[in-house]
Structure 1
Amino acid sequence: MVDVTTSNFDSVLKAIPDVIRNCDFIALDLELSGLDETHCRNTADLPQSRFKRCRRDVLKYTPVQVGLAFFQYDEDDKKYTVRPYNFYVFPFHNSSQFPDMHVQFLTSSMSFLSSHGFDFNKWVNCGIPFVSVAKEDQMRRHMEQHFDDLRKGLGFLLEEININTQTKLLSLVEETSPQKDQEFKRKDAQELIDAEFRNADFLRLTREQLRALKDEGDECQIKDANSFQRRLVFKIISSEFSEKNLVGIVKSVEGSQDNKDKYILVKKLSVGSRTSRLDYQQKVKLEDLNACVGFTNIMKLISESGKMIVGHNMLMDILHIHNTFFGPVSESYENFKASINSIFPKICDTKVLATTKPFKTHIPYTGLETLFNAVSQKPFKKPVFKFAVGFDKYDQVGAAHEAGYDAYMTGFIFASLLNYLGSLVKPPKAHIPCSSELVTPFVNKIFLMRILDLYYMDLENDDVIPRRHDMFYLMFPKEWKTRDIVKLFEKFGNSIQVNWINDVSCFVKVEGMRDPATTILKTVALAAAGAENFSICTFDEYHEKFEDNGEANEEATQPEISTSKNGVGDSIRKLSATQKRASEEAAQDLGEEIDPETLMPKDKKVRTK
């Protein structure tokens, strides 16, 4: 059982608590309706500015597939048992409380998913519903308040029954309430007057029937009621008759096509009968709510377990999981860190491990598939494992970019890297559990792509902030080109790097800076005197003024350019040699914090915020 849809989700939900409880760690991966990588174009980002850019992307797109792979280590057999799941998830929308939501796709993402076998029909028709924990809590509170009001006699009971099958149409169960009645009363007065005029005969007969029911009898039928007339009947019962022990049951005329011909059966109930109906309706509503929560139930179980969560380059994954299954991601970076820590206390990003000493030496590239192949060879020791019975879909044939398979690869990589850690200690250890102190330096650090001198976000502690004394922030006329900016700085260093933010602002890094920042500020400002909207400040001043105050800039609209002192280079897509060297040095920062003998953290070598 690897692929999970609505057809087999209930059985998975019953079995998965034991799977979670017995596993050592959980690897995850998402496939998304869109992924706009412009959020990682700014190589001068700090963790909080990168978070803001990624958050904007997360608000636009949604997960379409969630992969979870549960790795359970057996001390006796010395091997892992792996249970990968591939969940198709589709937003719940089949009620007034959960209206249709917009799902936005990037065409490139649709093509990518299609080329890797994603079944869009299965996603739409069989995708497991979900609502966020925040929305679920809101609906539960609303439901409890609603039924409390009904028990106090503040609302009118309404049920809808299919008379041909005598089965409850759960999706059509509705109750009126003071709030709904107020909504009805707020409708345009003239519209109500017109409606009463057009339905004068219907309302007169209805009132006569209800008055007769007050005096004697147990029920009455109000026939030929269309949807608006039915609403008028409910309004009359709740507002003009003091008895609150009436229930309106909308029934279909026997033999009608598509149940379109309906009438209202109004019954007089005893207090006990009314209470029983309320209890039944509340039970049905709770079952409906639990059903539409769907996949979120699994994410809640994982969160409650406190187990280690493993991902690869997983910043977007954890942002989407938070926003989709738990609640909106806060605009505040610090609040987000606190929130994700409460959801998943232990997270490990395999890309952080792979770009850190001692692993980096043996891993030239860290893409998921490439890394999977690399850790399957020496000097790494791939983990011994077996797929659990019924979970062998990926045993012989891979399925790259299917969320379940990518989650399995991620977990495999993690186990192999831990094995390699075990080979470095004295005496060597054949197996390193994810709870080991050797893993601690890598926990709750999330990889940050394409930043020159910083490559991880620290979810648990203050972030490591690199020294950027040789970087400046510029605003300038839209007509300016890279050559205009380089000309202002070329005499102050060995090479100039221009990192565009948008058409009118950029960061400039002066490699081998020979003059103090104050001198450069004054000289450049003087040289650009008269240029419209020109301003310059140091990176630290920019960070304090803009990022700390939440005034993030728009995404870059021009490619990054690297130039030498001797002239303007060509526009390039890859990092320049200088950038590569800086990236390699940055990729060793975390490793340099670890003692080579004990693999435990040393004192940090860069300042923290």
Structure 2
Amino acid sequence: MDVTRHNFFELLPEIEAAIDASDFLSIDGEFTGLSSTNAINTFDTPAECYQHFKTSSKDFLLIQFGLSTFRWDAKSQSYKHSDFTFFLFPRPQLKSAPDKVFSCQSSSIDFLSKHKFDFNKLFYDGISYVDTIEEARLRDRIQDKQQVEKETKLTSNDSSILKNSISIPESFQLQVNEICERVKKFLEDDQMEDVVIERLNAFQRKIIYQELKANFDKSILVETKLVSNEKRNLVVTRRTSEEEIVKKLEESHAKEWEELEAAVGFSLLARKISSSGKLVVGHCMILDVLHTIHDFFHPLPDVYGDFKSLTSHIFSSLLDTMFMVKTNTFKELFLSVDLSSMFETTSQDPFKPPKIEIEQRGNLTGYPIEKKEFHMAGYDAFITGASLVSIFDYLKRKNPFDVTGIDNDKLCARSKLLKPFLNKLFLYKTSFQASPCIYIDGSDPKPSRDHVFHVKFPKSWVRSDVTDLFEPYGGVGFIAFIDDISAYVSLKQHSQAAFVTSSLCKPQIHYKVTPYWESKGIDVNKTSNDVSMNQATPKAEINPRNDTVQLHKSHDSSSERKGGVKRKLSERSDNDSSEPVKNKSDEDVQKDEPFKSEKRKKKKEKKLSQPSVDEIVITDIVKKSKKGKKSKGVFEVSENWE
């Protein structure tokens, strides 16, 4: 259902009740743009990706927030869901509220328009919001203002007014005299209820207020009333009893607090999602998470480690279904991983979707599964949650030994089956590398970059010129162009990195080849072990090395194969760097290539058959069966599981 500023506060109690009753929540967002720059490179570290995404989150608006609540109903043996599409627009509800400036990306606006996004509803009826820092500033300002009003309206301060009086401009003196005469006649005429003074700017209102207080302070009350966002009038009424003054002040102050609540708006619900502690699910949810934090909670920190700490504080459990379906557990089941394709795949064999029904409770409702309103945030959130329900059912059938015990067979944050996938955000811009994700709890994976080189070349060069340069060294695995004159290049055969370093990384006339870390200005021998993150990470509640899963093989690996030998990260780096460095010139290498012996060919074939460096192996959830045998499910069993 659509939720706007006109029905948000009416529905809020029911939505909060649905959150409390749910087993997990699913979210989705629509934005005015995705990326303000094309600066993210395939080989960027998670810390570098965060900096780029942070900039985009500040530039663009989150204009639609989708939320679906899911709960398991044992009586009907089905999942009940309620779905909401919130239109968001940060209008300045208060005079002192921020007047936000934002950008739009033409491709994003065009995309939303093609999918029938209602921009009129957004700008006319969007729900406002502010973050916690801005809310605190507005709250303090209102409290200070109200305190001053109590002091000035309940007491007479003629001396202070005269002491701090403003000189009246000569051009305005006549109008001041006329207004004072109107107020004098008003006090003499009991039939008049008030005097409304219009068409004054802020400076003029201050002068009039000063003169009226100086001349009629014990007889009148002077208030500023907002007529529209830009128009304010002074209203003069008779001073009555102190009780009546207090009552009017209380009514006025209560209205100001209501206006503040309207300004906070959707942030109230975002904070309810956070405080609920529920599992929050999304599909490729990095931008959803960043915008949610930045818009409703706190500006995104500059330090990467602080971002992880802040995210862990706001969301106790996150699950990115894009990360989930990219793991080796599911890679052969999903030919395509966009949201609609994922839902289609999970709707057929080998998945067996459980029964899903719309929750019938009060004013709440949901999307029918057959409606297919993709790119409407509420529907996308529902489809994400429905897909996870099918995936979880598949995991339970494949891992019968792991569903015993409290909550293990329940789709929630405490389920042991979901533990390997929690708090890992997929980085779609770096999906070709071996570790395209952010580990919220602890250190990120540290894939090797020894086989990656930064290349500068003439503007006249094309892709084939770059590939020809590395052809004598086993060829190119992947090229990530930075601009017209530079690129990152990974080798197809990682063991050839030493030869490239000794041969190509020398002063050249037409090009310059530099090892990856050297191009970043990082001395690997002097830095800490985690070169991908130059800031301290927060204390991890879960050891990521025990909770992660094997990811897809990178596209720049030496060969395509199913399965393959699994190796730990420490073992992998040692094996792949064992090739001795040989001081051969470029000319010698090129002469040797056409005349390789049969023995060299066999040796090369043997290397090609070995697993790629970019296959990250991480221990999955593991468990022995009661008989001490290894599980036959999709998860690997380890004798070291604690």
Smaller-chain TM-score range?
Answer: 0.7 to 0.9
> Aligned ranges for residues 13-92 of structure 1 at < 5 Å?
13-36=12-35, 39=38, 42-92=41-91
Contact 1:453 1:582 in 2 (8 A): no
Partner amino acid, structure 1, of 2:395: L
Contact 1:474 1:506 in 2 (8 A): yes
CA deviation after TM superposition for structure 1 residue 105, in Å: 2.3
> Aligned ranges for residues 168-183 of structure 1 at < 5 Å?
none
Q: Secondary structure at the match of 1:439?
A: helix
Query: Is 1:232–2:211 an aligned residue pair?
Result: no
- Per the alignment, residue 268 of structure 2 pairs with 297
- Per the alignment, residue 433 of structure 1 pairs with 411
Given the two structures, how large is their TM-score scaled by the length of structure 2?
Answer: 0.72
CA distance in 2, matches of 1:458, 1:260: 51
Contact 1:383 1:419 in 2 (8 A): yes
- Per the alignment, residue 544 of structure 1 pairs with 522
Q: 1:548 to 1:505 in 2, by over 3 A?
A: farther
Partner amino acid, structure 1, of 2:344: N
Query: Is 1:468–2:449 an aligned residue pair?
Result: yes
- Per the alignment, residue 358 of structure 1 pairs with 329
Partner amino acid, structure 1, of 2:445: V
Partner amino acid, structure 2, of 1:451: F
- Per the alignment, residue 391 of structure 1 pairs with 365
Query: Is 1:377–2:348 an aligned residue pair?
Result: yes
- Per the alignment, residue 526 of structure 1 pairs with 506
Query: Is 1:420–2:394 an aligned residue pair?
Result: yes
CA distance in 2, matches of 1:493, 1:223: 85
CA distance in 2, matches of 1:470, 1:453: 13
CA distance in 1, matches of 2:613, 2:74: 37
> Aligned ranges for residues 34-183 of structure 1 at < 5 Å?
34-36=33-35, 39=38, 42-153=41-152
CA deviation after TM superposition for structure 1 residue 152, in Å: 4.8
CA distance in 1, matches of 2:483, 2:71: 48
CA deviation after TM superposition for structure 1 residue 155, in Å: 11
Query: Is 1:403–2:381 an aligned residue pair?
Result: no
Worse-superposed segment, 98-107 or 310-319? 98-107
CA distance in 1, matches of 2:15, 2:38: 35
CA distance in 2, matches of 1:579, 1:524: 21
Worse-superposed segment, 87-96 or 261-270? 261-270
Q: 1:314 aligns with which of 272, 285, 306?
A: 285
Contact 1:489 1:496 in 2 (8 A): no
CA deviation after TM superposition for structure 1 residue 225, in Å: 5.7
Contact 1:468 1:539 in 2 (8 A): yes
Contact 1:356 1:588 in 2 (8 A): no
Q: 1:121 to 1:261 in 2, by over 3 A?
A: closer
- Per the alignment, residue 439 of structure 2 pairs with 458
CA distance in 2, matches of 1:273, 1:416: 63
Partner amino acid, structure 1, of 2:51: K
Q: 1:31 to 1:279 in 2, by over 3 A?
A: same
Query: Is 1:367–2:338 an aligned residue pair?
Result: yes
Worse-superposed segment, 374-383 or 505-514? 505-514
CA distance in 2, matches of 1:400, 1:98: 34
Given the two structures, how large is their TM-score scaled by the length of structure 1?
Answer: 0.76
Q: Secondary structure at the match of 2:59?
A: coil
Partner amino acid, structure 2, of 1:297: L
CA distance in 2, matches of 1:263, 1:153: 16
Q: 1:249 to 1:490 in 2, by over 3 A?
A: same
Q: 1:511 aligns with which of 492, 497, 512?
A: 492
Worse-superposed segment, 82-91 or 432-441? 432-441
CA deviation after TM superposition for structure 1 residue 331, in Å: 1.9
Q: Secondary structure at the match of 1:544?
A: coil
CA deviation after TM superposition for structure 1 residue 77, in Å: 2.6
Worse-superposed segment, 462-471 or 96-105? 96-105
Contact 2:283 2:339 in 1 (8 A): yes
Q: Any stretches of 5+ residues in structure 2 without a counterpart? A: 524-530, 536-553, 564-611, 623-629
CA deviation after TM superposition for structure 1 residue 510, in Å: 2.3
Worse-superposed segment, 584-593 or 321-330? 584-593
CA distance in 2, matches of 1:146, 1:396: 53
Q: 1:359 to 1:143 in 2, by over 3 A?
A: same
CA distance in 2, matches of 1:391, 1:590: 43
Q: 1:331 to 1:261 in 2, by over 3 A?
A: closer
Q: Secondary structure at the match of 1:457?
A: strand
Contact 2:89 2:129 in 1 (8 A): yes
Partner amino acid, structure 2, of 1:439: L
Q: Any stretches of 5+ residues in structure 1 without a counterpart? A: 158-176, 186-192, 551-574, 605-609
CA distance in 2, matches of 1:478, 1:152: 72
Partner amino acid, structure 2, of 1:462: S
Partner amino acid, structure 1, of 2:113: S
Q: Secondary structure at the match of 1:526?
A: coil
Deviations 1:519-573 (A, max 9, x none): 6445434342587xx67343376273797679xxxxxxxxxxxxxxxxxxxxxxx
Partner amino acid, structure 2, of 1:338: S
CA deviation after TM superposition for structure 1 residue 62, in Å: 1.0
CA deviation after TM superposition for structure 1 residue 107, in Å: 2.3
CA distance in 1, matches of 2:11, 2:562: 43
Deviations 1:222-272 (A, max 9, x none): 78664133231134567x7897996313589xxx9xx99966426557665
Contact 2:359 2:365 in 1 (8 A): yes
Contact 2:54 2:290 in 1 (8 A): yes
Contact 2:367 2:379 in 1 (8 A): no
Q: Secondary structure at the match of 1:199?
A: helix
Worse-superposed segment, 428-437 or 74-83? 428-437
CA deviation after TM superposition for structure 1 residue 504, in Å: 4.6
Deviations 1:76-103 (A, max 9, x none): 3321111111111222224322254334
Worse-superposed segment, 220-229 or 494-503? 220-229
Q: 1:250 to 1:8 in 2, by over 3 A?
A: closer
Contact 2:24 2:411 in 1 (8 A): no
Q: 1:425 to 1:497 in 2, by over 3 A?
A: closer
Contact 2:29 2:64 in 1 (8 A): yes
Worse-superposed segment, 19-28 or 204-213? 204-213
Partner amino acid, structure 2, of 1:199: F
Contact 1:310 1:349 in 2 (8 A): yes
Contact 2:467 2:476 in 1 (8 A): no
Q: 1:235 to 1:587 in 2, by over 3 A?
A: farther
Q: 1:344 to 1:142 in 2, by over 3 A?
A: same
> Aligned ranges for residues 544-583 of structure 1 at < 5 Å?
544=522, 578=557, 581=560
Aligned-pair identity (%):
25
